[in-house]
Amino acid sequence: MITRRQWLQASSVFATALALGPRSAFAQPAKTVKVGVGLKSINASVINLLVGEALGYNAEEGFKVQGLALGGNANVQVATDKGDVDVGIGVPSYALPILARGEWGQSQWFYQYTYPYKWDVAVKPGSAVKAYADLKGKNIGVSDFGGTEYPVTRNVLKSLGIDPDKDVKWTAVGAGVPAGVALQRGAIDALAYYDTGFGIIDGAGIPLELVKRPDNLPMIGGQFLMGLRPRIQAERATFVGFGRSTAKASQFILENPTAGAKAFLKLYPETAPRGSTEEQAVKSVLEAISRRIKLYEPPYQGAKMGSIRVDEFVTEAKMNDWDIKDFSKIYTNDLIGEINNFDAEKIRAQARAYTG
């Protein structure tokens, strides 16, 4: 006969077993890879870095991803250097001056996830500004002075013989729709911004015209995945895996942008416009990424996805008179072969068949 004490002990064990779940629950939980981006909030501009979570690519590599919006490129660099994030977004306009001063630490770029060139200057329809040369004497808006559009547009103006400090005025007007409103209301004469930013403004129904880009635009300003060099060496599989997930997601989105948008909204439903239907939410993502997705693949013939060209750094350094003789500390292509070791056609087929 079972005593009350024995019954209570057995019940306790049974309850604990139920709480723990099946034996498979004792397996080590998936590693979390923290990814820092220089945004004030997560948005679709980094869709190819994050959507692998919804598509199963991260799980295939044995980890899950946590996207962290850190507010600016400088914050991402510091967080990466300190090891507070596993993967950060590196930008040459911030990193190369540090390298020139001989102060570069242990961070290393291992995958180029967006290639040049993604910036433009926009004006109100009917503006007298038709070319970059017409910007002399004008008030140019940027989202903020920590944004990539500020140093890159300065460099382009400088290459055209326009002094970015004396010949134009710069005004920080905020990101997204507020930037478009500032242009619409005449608070600025022109807006320097990047592709996905203009997509957000387009989606808000604010009319604008892009100023014709100059000929021979410098191939500068790509964006890169970076991690600490010792960690890349010690945890190579993780960094290869994250790069591979990004490459797969990029192929998926290129093949079926609508499917990519649906997958992204599953992860970040809060990024949809308030009160929007599913169709409207998907449309908002597509408007934001339509220009950016063209830059996922390298513009160099025969180059593998994610591969890094040192020529881009050399060009940007020369434009800014940064004396850098050795760029090897800042990047590596050593992981690119493994990152691209997957069946791209299988990913494209998955994208075509995706229903959400």
Q: Give 146: exposed, middle or buried? Use CB within 10 Å, 0-12, 13-18, 19+.
A: middle
Tell me the domain boundaries of the chain: 31-116+221-353, 119-210
> How many residues in total does the chain contain?
356
So what's the pLDDT on residue 9?
42
Question: In angstroms, rounded to a whole number, what is the distance separating the alpha carbons of residues 73 and 90?
Answer: 7
CATH topology of domain 119-210: D-Maltodextrin-Binding Protein; domain 2 (3.40.190)
Q: Which tens digits make up the pLDDT trace of 107-165?
A: 999 999 999 888 899 999 999 999 999 999 999 999 988 777 898 899 889 888 999 99
So what's the pLDDT on residue 22?
40
pLDDT-derived band at 92, boundaries 50, 70, 90: very high
What is the residue-wise DSSP string for 69-89?
E-SSHHHHHHHHHHTSSSEEE
Q: How many whole angstroms from its chain centre is CA 333? A: 19
To the nearest 10 degrees (0 to 180), the angle between helices 236-255 and 257-267 is: 130
Q: Which of 285, 348, 321 is CA-nearest to residue 100?
A: 321
Mean pLDDT, rounded, for 6-22: 39
So what's the pLDDT on residue 21?
41
Of 80-94, 200-214, 233-247, 254-268, the poorest mean pLDDT is in 200-214
What is the residue-wise DSSP string for 147-206?
STHHHHHHHHHHHTT--TTTT-EEEE--SSHHHHHHHHTTSSSEEEEEHHHHHHHHHTT-
CB-CB contact of 47 with 55 (8 Å): no
Q: Which tens digits make up the pLDDT trace of 232-276?
A: 999 999 999 999 999 999 999 999 999 999 999 999 999 998 899
CB-CB contact of 257 with 290 (8 Å): yes
Question: In angstroms, rounded to a whole number, what is the distance separating the alpha carbons of residues 291 and 115?
Answer: 12
Percent residues over pLDDT 90 in the chain: 74
Percent residues over pLDDT 70 in the chain: 92
Mean pLDDT of the chain: 90
H/E stretch holding 99: helix 92-100
Question: In angstroms, rounded to a whole number, what is the distance separating the alpha carbons of residues 82 and 109?
Answer: 15
Q: Which tens digits make up the pLDDT trace of 289-347?
A: 988 899 999 999 999 999 999 999 998 898 888 999 999 999 999 999 999 999 999 99
pTM score of the predicted model: 0.80
One of 3.40.190.10, 3.10.450.50, 3.30.930.10, 3.90.226.10 is the CATH number of 31-116+221-353, namely 3.40.190.10
Buried b (16+ CB within 10 A) or exposed e, 283-319: bbbbbbbbbbbebbbbeeeebebbbbbeebbebbbeb
